[in-house]
Structure 1
């Protein structure tokens, strides 16, 4: 009876105060939707996580593209040394990361921003989508982009369709950004450019130039048209290191430092040793730490750095632990607070190649080449750029693995091109200089370095020593290099019809030795 009376009185009280229910029952400490809108938090909160998703963790980069581009190598014989780095695919997550961490939230935030009329936020999300899939397609080839979010399993875009969509989206993005350079709504969420829309426009335009060059051999007419559009656009391109697109680490440690110093799973590559020491490149002191054991560098004690051959013979992890780590500064979150996605040195090298290809507005090839090298030296705080650029004698060195007897893991350098520009040389020689320097400057973001190697054949990287490829994922011939990553098992299991469609657009089997669209294998000129 008492319980019934209590409920009756409660209901009576509720009915008596419904006139001011909303006011009385609003939690004064709760953030309302309207207050979130006033600060753009209901859309802006998505962006830091989306941007962070551009880089994955150990298996997404360090044991894939970073090894394939031969910047870093691992001392650890994972799975009996039969793994991605020796061309047998064990780990393949980049696809899922891009869709789960970028494409899905981007779709959601675009819908919210469109509903509220926040066009700059819409196009910022669209730009992040372009960056995401334009990077991931260099791994896989065909991907889901224009049809993302379709029910029943979206079909893949072919690579020509992807690039057409990228360029179309960049047209709109750059137009909206360039018309709204005084917009300040991004500032609380943009740790890269502090909300500077004009800077984002310059990056987007530089991205157009990158993508145009990527297809310069397979579709030279489209590449030239898009490249010249980027070169002529009044919004401009990245011009200095202050324009670099860097991702904030938000106080976290640079992930390759964790891989290197906490897990002892990555070290300097033998290819870096060969090229940087041979060219007497002072950037090596900012990239890597010298070894403690001088017996490892008896062939070049004045440059005490030692790397591991990519795809090398590995027996015990401890064998190569004493080799050069990445520079110790990377292990300090107070010193290394960002990770680059695109830096101005790349733009200069793109313009240098564009000049060789006769693209209007590219400027002088030598001037751009030398500006790219100087910008990279400046970025890394390295001295001696002028002397380096004048060196017409130094060449990369041969590599010796001091751990194992005989010729195990050793290689003979294949590069016969010096650093100094030679205006009388043919375009092929000039291109090799450009791409080799672009490869060095790409350190810590090897995605485009792997693209350039497949696209041009430069730098002249050594073959992997131990090729474990087989029919499971495709056989890479002993005189070749891996060409792509297969579509991941998550897609094979959850979206088999789309995988079959994507494979039909690939131009070959879903294997690691199938060339991507822009990787023609033909001459560069």
Structure 2
């Protein structure tokens, strides 16, 4: 009996020691898997890293879509003046950035979140994935989306398939958000909206409206259905600047400021000079710094801003370093801590165009003026500019002609082609009204030029001057004189590592893998 009691006591002792072994031997300073799961850190840590990569660097943006939209221009004659900005493709890196830093981690976190039943985190990652790919497709057309993560030679989605997949995924995302409006799990990881699910739902609706409008010419029925769905959703759209979707810079300097102030490779564009000065636009002082050398602005000394023509003939970088920088505030990470992705002004301009197209929910054609003027007002408010009433009432001012003070005439000079003033004219035809809407949208899209490049290809507005130097050739495709670059080629890594996929993508593109091939929604046809 004593022996039995002794053995039973040993079992209790060793059992207790074994039960306490993990706790006793756990490093108290190490975050456990359980702690990570309890605080959502095993999921949330992915999101700031993904969002921070939506905007790229000099190669990804400043020397591609920023130049093609003609908001900023370079004083630097890279590669002897034969480069992206003069229509010879030298750099093409955005694809790699987005697949490595957004699509790959999104796939990983979606898997973790689905396994744990965290539906809102799944929806959030899928929304970020759509945002990323909806930008990449503006570069190249067909992309890898529905087949992403497959092995071997992976097929691309045609643009038609891609946009339908976006809309299907948005249905799911908005459904999840709508059912979880009080969810707080995102709070510690969301520098954009502080974890507010309703705010993310408004962005998702607004993104649907943006994507729908892209298709307004190529598939009017689909565009109308999706645009009306966005406007009808009870969650609503982004319609105040307090609801804007901005991405935190996470303490890093606003990248064009680094390109401008540290590297000296970007300045105000001549097109911005022409349009902002001609329209007497007060936002100019919020966007750019005046020149210190007044001899550069002898043709308009009351407006001391000078820009560089996109695709200019350049000899030496130093020639134009004295032209207008972007506003100095952008160079201070303490002042500029975020970058806009979608703002109220864009949503109002989308609704103005929807009204012209008589989409239900827009108020119809008679509401176009109200949306147009609300968009201008929202932009002035966002930038802290005054004088919006006088600006909207101006029915005489027009953009000005441009003269390059550092070149012999007529090198780099251009004659303005815009003959449409700011003030709304209800008696004008829809084409004239659309030009007003898109021109003001172009001005307001400053710092988010991807959509401006898309609109210019889709509608032909604003009427931008052609590049002065067109160095395109048979290597990447020839852009006819006076026309614009329509897309970026598929990247070399894909050409070499997924040749069959690129061949299939080129077939889906509907034309050669060249810079002059129009994307699906860029029909070249009439706007109405």
TM-score band w.r.t. shorter chain: over 0.9
Q: Mapping of 1:287-436 within 5 angstroms?
A: 287-363=287-363, 364-436=367-439
1:501 equivalent in structure 2: 504
Residue correspondences, number: 512
Deviation at 1:27, TM superposition (A): 1.0
Q: Aligned equivalents of 2:429 and 2:206: distance in 1?
A: 27
2:148 equivalent in structure 1: 148
Q: Aligned equivalents of 2:434 and 2:239: distance in 1?
A: 21
1:117 aligns with 2:140: no
Deviation at 1:179, TM superposition (A): 1.2
Match of 1:450 among 430, 453, 464: 453
2:4 equivalent in structure 1: none
Residue pair 2:467, 2:482 contacting (<8 A) in 1 also: no
C-alpha deviations, 1:148-188, integer Å up to 9, x for none?
A: 00011321000000000000000110111011110011010
Deviation at 1:200, TM superposition (A): 0.3
Q: Aligned equivalents of 2:19 and 2:247: distance in 1?
A: 51
1:484 equivalent in structure 2: 487
1:81 aligns with 2:85: no
Q: Aligned equivalents of 1:495 and 1:267: distance in 2?
A: 38
Q: Mapping of 1:170-249 within 5 angstroms?
A: 170-249=170-249
Q: Aligned equivalents of 1:381 and 1:315: distance in 2?
A: 37
Deviation at 1:493, TM superposition (A): 1.2
1:65 equivalent in structure 2: 65
C-alpha deviations, 1:300-351, integer Å up to 9, x for none?
A: 0000000000001010000110000000000001100000001110000000
Q: Aligned equivalents of 1:495 and 1:95: distance in 2?
A: 14
Matched position secondary structure for 1:432 = helix
Q: Aligned equivalents of 1:153 and 1:341: distance in 2?
A: 33
Deviation at 1:24, TM superposition (A): 2.9
Q: Aligned equivalents of 2:243 and 2:184: distance in 1?
A: 18
1:270 aligns with 2:270: yes
Deviation at 1:398, TM superposition (A): 0.1
C-alpha deviations, 1:423-463, integer Å up to 9, x for none?
A: 00000000000000000000000000000000000000000
C-alpha deviations, 1:188-221, integer Å up to 9, x for none?
A: 0000000000000000000000000000000000
Residue pair 2:402, 2:416 contacting (<8 A) in 1 also: yes
Deviation at 1:17, TM superposition (A): 7.2
Q: Aligned equivalents of 1:493 and 1:293: distance in 2?
A: 50
Q: Aligned equivalents of 1:383 and 1:82: distance in 2?
A: 41
Deviation at 1:18, TM superposition (A): 5.9
Matched position secondary structure for 1:139 = helix
Name the TM-score, length of structure 1 as normaliser. 0.96
Matched position secondary structure for 1:265 = coil
Q: Aligned equivalents of 2:135 and 2:78: distance in 1?
A: 26
Deviation at 1:479, TM superposition (A): 1.9
1:137 aligns with 2:137: yes
Q: Aligned equivalents of 1:368 and 1:353: distance in 2?
A: 9
Q: Aligned equivalents of 1:100 and 1:47: distance in 2?
A: 14
Q: Aligned equivalents of 1:188 and 1:456: distance in 2?
A: 41
Deviation at 1:23, TM superposition (A): 2.8
Matched position secondary structure for 2:246 = strand
Bigger CA drift: 488-497 or 373-382?
488-497
Q: Aligned equivalents of 2:17 and 2:122: distance in 1?
A: 42
C-alpha RMSD over aligned residues: 1.2
1:104 equivalent in structure 2: 104
1:56 equivalent in structure 2: 56
Deviation at 1:19, TM superposition (A): 6.3
Matched position secondary structure for 2:59 = helix
Residue pair 2:203, 2:237 contacting (<8 A) in 1 also: yes
Match of 2:518 among 515, 518, 522: 515
Deviation at 1:26, TM superposition (A): 1.2
**Gaps in structure 2 of 5+ consecutive residues:** 1-13
Deviation at 1:60, TM superposition (A): 0.2
Q: Aligned equivalents of 1:371 and 1:19: distance in 2?
A: 66
